[in-house]
């Protein structure tokens, strides 16, 4: 009788561990999906920033009033930076507003005005790009750590489950 009680208790433990393994796997899958979305978004932000820098560099001497897409790219890049909190503490939404104001100011100017403000805008975009890349590295490191912790915990649970199953098999 005591043997049957031990077997039932062990089977209950096996069921609990099996449930925990499944729940933890589902939680980890959700966490991984969120990471993949964030990573895709930050990669898109990096691509957009690089494209905005290229456009700014290539547009020297061209009136910006002909380049709504350039303004839109720069604005989208800066909004993403703010939304991701990818900007370092020295950068802020006010800096984004300043850059957008410079773009608006350049609309009606001759190409000489570009040289003065264009460099500042490019410099800001390059700083934001650096911040994006730093943010990307940070989320990749966090994901790697979370994956390692999950894998270790799941391995421990699987080993414990296997030990219980071996114990039940030995008793029966």
Scan for tokens 């802020």, then name that residue: 92
Q: How far apart are CA 42 and CA 156, in angstroms?
A: 34
Binned at pLDDT 50, 70 and 90, residue 81 comes out as low
Burial tier of 144 (Cβ tally within 10 Å: 0-12, 13-18, 19+)? exposed
Q: Which residues contact 154 (CB under 8 A, 6 or more apart)?
A: 21, 24, 25
CA angle 161, 167, 168 (to 5 degrees): 90
Q: How far apart are CA 148 and CA 26, in angstroms?
A: 16
CB 160 within 8 A of CB 17: yes
Task: State the maximum Cα–Cα separation within the chain, in Å, rounded to a whole number.
Answer: 95
Average pLDDT over residues 58-82: 64
Asked if residue 146 has pLDDT above 80, the reply is yes
pLDDT tens digit sequence for 84-134: 655 554 555 555 555 555 555 445 545 444 444 667 778 888 888 898 899
């Amino acid at each position: 009788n005591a043997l049957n009680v031990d077997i039932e208790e062990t089977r209950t433990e096996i069921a609990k561990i099996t449930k925990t393994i499944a729940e933890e796997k589902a939680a980890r899958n959700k966490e991984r999906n969120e990471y993949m979305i964030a990573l895709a978004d930050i990669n898109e932000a990096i691509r957009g920033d690089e494209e905005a820098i290229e456009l700014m560099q290539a547009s020297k001497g061209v009136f910006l009033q002909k380049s709504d897409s350039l303004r839109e790219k720069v604005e989208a890049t800066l909004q993403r930076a703010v939304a991701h909190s990818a900007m370092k503490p020295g950068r802020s939404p006010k800096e984004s507003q300043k850059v957008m104001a410079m773009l608006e100011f350049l609309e009606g100017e001759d190409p000489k005005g570009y040289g003065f403000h264009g460099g500042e805008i490019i410099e800001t975009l390059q700083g934001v790009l650096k911040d994006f890349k730093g943010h990307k590295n940070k989320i990749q490191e966090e994901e790697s750590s979370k994956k390692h912790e999950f894998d270790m915990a799941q391995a421990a649970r699987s080993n414990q489950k296997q030990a219980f199953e071996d114990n039940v098999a030995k008793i029966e």
